[in-house]
A and B are shown apart, each in its own frame.
Chain A
Amino acid sequence: MTKTTLSYWDKSTSAAPLAVFRIGFGVMMTYSIIRFALHGWINSLYIEPTYHFSYYGLDWIQPLGSFTYILFAECGLSAFCIAIGYRYRLAIILFFLSFTYIELMDKTTYLNHYYFISILSFLMIFLPSNRYFSIDYYHTNKSLSAVPSIPRWTIDSIKLLLSIVYVYAGLAKLNSDWLLKAMPLKIWLPSKYDIPFLGDLMQQEWVHYTFSWTGMLYDLLIPFLLVYKKTRIWGFIAVIIFHVMTRVLFPIGMFPFIMIVSALVFFDSTLHEKILSYLRIKLEPFTSLWSTLSRKRNRKIPFEIKYQNFIIPVILLFFSIQLILPWRYLSYPGELFWTEEGYRFSWRVMLMEKMGSAQFKIVDASGQSFYIQNDDFLTSFQEKQMSSQPDFILEYAHFLGDHYTAQGYKGIEVYVDCYAALNGRTSRRLIDPNTDLYQIKESFQHKDWILPLEDEIKGL
């Protein structure tokens, strides 16, 4: 046992796939940051709102006013450095920190895709992604005809992470709403009536079921199709079709392209060497730019991961957390989709159509009471997210309580009249209207002031 384990950690492989992955990642992230800025989202999501929803315990992470722009610039610049392989280790650490900070500034914008980028960039800190075709190793690339080799587990770790994302997303689809009711696709797809060619098809009930089932099967099977050489090309075609489809049907930004490019990592190094030699020809005219940046390196020493004794336990711990975290919902009673306790960071993608309406009531010691107009404090996006998610509701209730206490009201109590509708069910009360939310402390304990859905969604 120990012997095989040891031999696995000692195996090495071509550095080309990881180099292509690094370049793809860097380019996509650079573009994503620019796209984010061009849409004006830095301003509308992080600067304009007067209040920001924080993750539990992380309320010290706040937007930095107009310095937020600098944070984004720094993030984009480090992504670019990752792409060209310039001071890679520093760049990937800065990217991980700034990107993660950005995502933690306001949980209104939480997306599984952003979480994926955060943990992937964390993993990449420990990988020798700059070993080949980078400015850091510019001279060695030029003189050595052979592609350098790197530990095999470094590339496998990316494959494993991608596989976890897919398989867990597939497992999450094994529920009665998704498979037996074709929800929420039955709500979403008909509204795509204006898409050319597909618009009419999207109205068909059998299409909703087909999409639900193939989506589930796709997620569960795709890592295996990509791992096995014989099915790999079919798997990759499926990746392209699936992600292009999701791009056409849903507003999911850059993610489909990121996943398509990422899936290339499953291919043999021959493909990646072809890609790199093509890039090399294209980049030839810019050689003078690179060489000024590059530092001379000793070209003889084969790559060794320093601090291997430290890095491998970190990687193992990282993956253990990844494998366990999505199951934490099992420790909470109630319907997961309704309470959303343990919902995030679990690859539960596109599983719910949930809308809510929350009307907060402030009562003071004298018994005076009034309702809140949410748009006095929140943007429409924040209000939409807040209205159907209990942890947002609690946080906002505390914000309101603090706000009116600071205005001089005594003995403030905060109640909410909140209705939500889940996957086509008729709206019903989400929160106990008689609970003074201002007295409730946020914690990882079960929120017993969430009223039951009184309907069971079977499955995982």
Chain B
Amino acid sequence: MSKSENREKTSNELVFGSDNPNAIEVKDLVKIYTGKKVIEEVRAIDGISFSISKGELFGLLGPNGAGKTTTINILCGLLNQTKGDAFVGGYNVKKDLSKIKELIGVCPQQASVYQYLNAKENIELFGNLHLVKKEVINERMERFLDLLGLTKASNRAAKKYSGGMLRQLNLIMALISDPPILFLDEPTVGMDARVRRKTWEFINSLKQTNKTVVLTTHYIEEAEALCDRVAIIDFGKLVAIGPPKELIEKHNAKNLEEVFLQITGRRIMEGI
């Protein structure tokens, strides 16, 4: 067996497509939903552009239907954009999707787990899909389960888990391949305050591993506490972007929630 085959597969070994300091770049992205079942053309994303640096924890905020999940789905290759370009890890989402899939971990909005399998079996499956070695899967799995307090329940079928536990398992499944780029689509929704705090700490600890994290959330305080920068999307348009502190100062607000309400609330009232 060669040395390279013997090495543990870590995020450091997954190769980015370019030396660009940005892990993600989105340029004039447009997504229009059309089709037989769509009565009226829906512009889910309307020409948004932003970039995310390597190792940055980036928050995508916006009201329901603003276009957050659509953006993430395009970046993960689940949806095709109508116009514009998107690059993940230096690779174009339209041309190099297979390379992108090796670099990313996705924690979807819906807790997507095999209900009849236990936590360990679910995690092991996703480790295997990323071709992670068995001993590495086991080591990471034990660590993550312990960090999120799921060890005791790890041999129980997922169908017997509470909503919060399913969310935590959902998150671990996205992390088992140690991806350098992580998409977390509302990872803490439905969690009680205690479990949410624990999960925040866990997400915060990912910063030390130099991962690029894209986080969508409805909990504005979550974004304020965790994110290096946030982007607020409304009606498919990017309406604000920057570090939470900077946005708070700029809008002369008490916190990020107030900024969010100022921006998105005004647009709703003005009927834009």
A and B form one complex? no
Interface residues of B (CB under 8 A from A): none
User: Chain A: residues with CB nearer than 8 A to chain B?
Assistant: none
